[in-house]
Chains A and B, each alone.
Chain A
């Protein structure tokens, strides 16, 4: 788990980015969710040794980042923070797969190094794109989109509720942690016993809050379903965004499999 307090800050910051105004922000959330999903599947579908053929796909996140004026530093830092797992598992590839796959002049590149590089690129593309998606769409936008795309209403509602109360309960947890550390000397009282009591206290407050929320909902006419705000219409711009980008991904994927291109790239590398 990455730094606890910074997590709340990250959500707030990404939220702020999502409130900006840009051509990408104005697109329909469904278009962005769909395109991102197809993008991730296309990235995953590449051969395990694909390195050069993955590079053209960077165009999509980069264009979005530039168009939406997202801060590179923040995205890069987030990527580095979550990298360890993919890195650790991928790091064994160069050790285990020693077969030569590529000759750069006289320098032999083993399959392991290629697939390790490929894992790093895949990681950057997929995880980076998830962050870009939320930074240009906003979480409520995504919930609305998946509701419209056919996800069960109860689940979309659950996501919206969760999102709404992360801030409230996060603040509460932060106050508790601060209170505990102000009363703790030489790390005393940081053990399991006090922790359990704190957690249970937070849980009770949470449940009480849920009961109040439920009463408030009932008094505002809640009958088991919550109507979600209507989204704007899916315009031709949205359709063009999905069509053009997905066409691009699929073209890159098909061309990467063609023999001539591979020969051409190999020539270029020599």
Chain B
């Protein structure tokens, strides 16, 4: 889903514009130094392919609706991250101008949500490790499905975060998240399935088109650095997402303090730095005390909190899987190096 200008503040829009423009500049420089100049026409034509592919759709059985290709991950698998990012960005520019999808200020957000996540997170950290050095059709299928799904979930998380940072829509972060993530889980499943089928067919017909062979050429140092970046981004995600779902009941430590002292938190003289940080945190926290309290006053609290729990379950499972995967990857690679 595209972020819209109408919901965006100039600060948030500006930050993502700078981020998107910077990534475009870096990717362009990378491509310029690439000796293979056949990639330039290939990128342009594949961008047009994504458009054309969206004109074809298929019927989803038993629902009456139809699905089509998302494109981000497929482009990454065919072109590599940098070229794929530029291609997705160009597709989004055309969509913003001709079809008014999103708008010009939101273009930065959209390029980030739909380009950065599939090309620089889902592709190198999910698709590539899962397909491994000896890809099979089954592996490719699951890798494409999972990577496309995660990329779309991150993209929709981006839309929710950008909307709530801008503060123009009054919709609270959590309830917006609860609507957006499950919808995009469904869309992501369909898009992931399509991507998986197409990647499988390419693998059958012309496997050399998929950029799988380059997986081995990564230098070990770069690989380790990548892993650190991946773990960091997972940590940010876990911290960012899970803290919102933390229980409103006091946790074990808080409970025991309460039992011992009769207060929820220990009263103590705060050093100035602590006070400053606490004030900062209060300012930065979008959801002081988890925001679910507001929700339950406003609407049917039980339903909301239950769907919140299940969603956190889904997200949690997904992230744990990702984490386990990365650890597995690290463990598998180590013997090769020594």
> Residues of A at under 8 Å CB distance from B?
1-2, 4-5, 7-8, 10-11, 14, 36-37, 40-41, 43-45, 48, 78-79, 82, 85-86, 89-90, 92-93, 96-97, 112, 115, 118-120, 122-123, 126-131, 133-134, 139, 142, 151-155, 157-166, 168-170, 172-174, 176-177, 187, 190-200, 202-204, 206-207, 209-211, 213-214, 217, 222, 224
**Minimum Cβ distance to chain A for residue B100 (Å):** 4
Question: How many angstroms between the C-alpha atoms of A254 and B225 in the bound complex?
Answer: 48
The answer to whether B28 and A203 have CB atoms under 8 Å apart is: no
With contacts A126-B105, A152-B28, A173-B56 taken as known, whether A44 is within 8 angstroms of B201 at the C-beta atoms is no
The answer to whether B25 and A202 have CB atoms under 8 Å apart is: no
Q: Which residues of B contact A195 (CB under 8 A)?
A: 56-58, 194, 197
Q: Which residues of B contact A123 (CB under 8 A)?
A: 4-6
Q: Which of A45, A190, A197 contacts B201 (CB 8 A)?
A: A197
With contacts A159-B90, A173-B53, A191-B61 taken as known, whether A209 is within 8 angstroms of B45 at the C-beta atoms is yes
Q: Which of B31, B41, B101 contacts A210 (CB 8 A)?
A: B41
With contacts A92-B169, A214-B41 taken as known, whether A45 is within 8 angstroms of B24 at the C-beta atoms is no
Question: How many angstroms between the C-alpha atoms of A100 and B4 in the bound complex?
Answer: 27
- 11 CB contacts below 8 A, A to B, read A41-B14, A44-B8, A82-B100, A122-B168, A126-B105, A128-B100, A139-B97, A159-B93, A162-B91, A202-B52, A206-B48
With contacts A119-B6, A176-B56, A213-B45 taken as known, whether A142 is within 8 angstroms of B28 at the C-beta atoms is no
Task: Write the chain B residue with the least CB distance to A223.
Answer: B37
Q: How large is the interface on B (under 10, 10 to 19, 20 to 34, 35 or more residues)?
A: 35 or more
Q: Which residues of A contact B167 (CB under 8 A)?
A: 48
Q: Which of B6, B29, B101 contacts A152 (CB 8 A)?
A: B29
The answer to whether B42 and A41 have CB atoms under 8 Å apart is: no
The answer to whether A177 and B56 have CB atoms under 8 Å apart is: yes
Question: How many angstroms between the C-alpha atoms of A109 and B333 in the bound complex?
Answer: 63
With contacts A86-B4, A165-B44, A166-B48 taken as known, whether A40 is within 8 angstroms of B86 at the C-beta atoms is no
Q: Which residues of B contact A41 (CB under 8 A)?
A: 10, 13-14, 105
With contacts A92-B169, A159-B90, A210-B41 taken as known, whether A199 is within 8 angstroms of B198 at the C-beta atoms is yes
Task: Write the chain B residue with the least CB distance to A169.
Answer: B52
**Minimum Cβ distance to chain B for residue A200 (Å):** 4
**Minimum Cβ distance to chain B for residue A170 (Å):** 5
The answer to whether A203 and B103 have CB atoms under 8 Å apart is: no
**Minimum Cβ distance to chain B for residue A267 (Å):** 27
The answer to whether A85 and B4 have CB atoms under 8 Å apart is: yes
**Minimum Cβ distance to chain A for residue B34 (Å):** 9
Additional A-B contacts beyond A41-B10, A161-B48 (18; CB < 8 A): A7-B54, A8-B55, A126-B105, A129-B104, A130-B97, A134-B97, A154-B86, A155-B90, A161-B40, A162-B90, A162-B94, A164-B44, A170-B48, A173-B55, A199-B69, A206-B48, A211-B42, A214-B37
Binds A, one of B170-178, B232-240, B254-262, B311-319: B170-178
Q: Which residues of A contact B304 (CB under 8 A)?
A: none
Task: Write the chain B residue with the least CB distance to A194.
Answer: B58
Task: Write the chain A residue with the least CB distance to B87.
Answer: A158
Question: How many angstroms between the C-alpha atoms of A128 and B100 in the bound complex?
Answer: 8
Question: How many angstroms between the C-alpha atoms of A78 and B96 in the bound complex?
Answer: 12
Task: Write the chain A residue with the least CB distance to B8.
Answer: A44
**Minimum Cβ distance to chain A for residue B15 (Å):** 13
Complex interface residues of chain B between 8 and 60 (CB less than 8 A to chain A)? 8-10, 13-14, 21, 24-25, 28-29, 31-32, 37-38, 40-49, 51-59
Question: How many angstroms between the C-alpha atoms of A5 and B200 in the bound complex?
Answer: 28
The answer to whether B29 and A130 have CB atoms under 8 Å apart is: no
Q: Which residues of A contact B100 (CB under 8 A)?
A: 78-79, 82, 127-128, 130-131
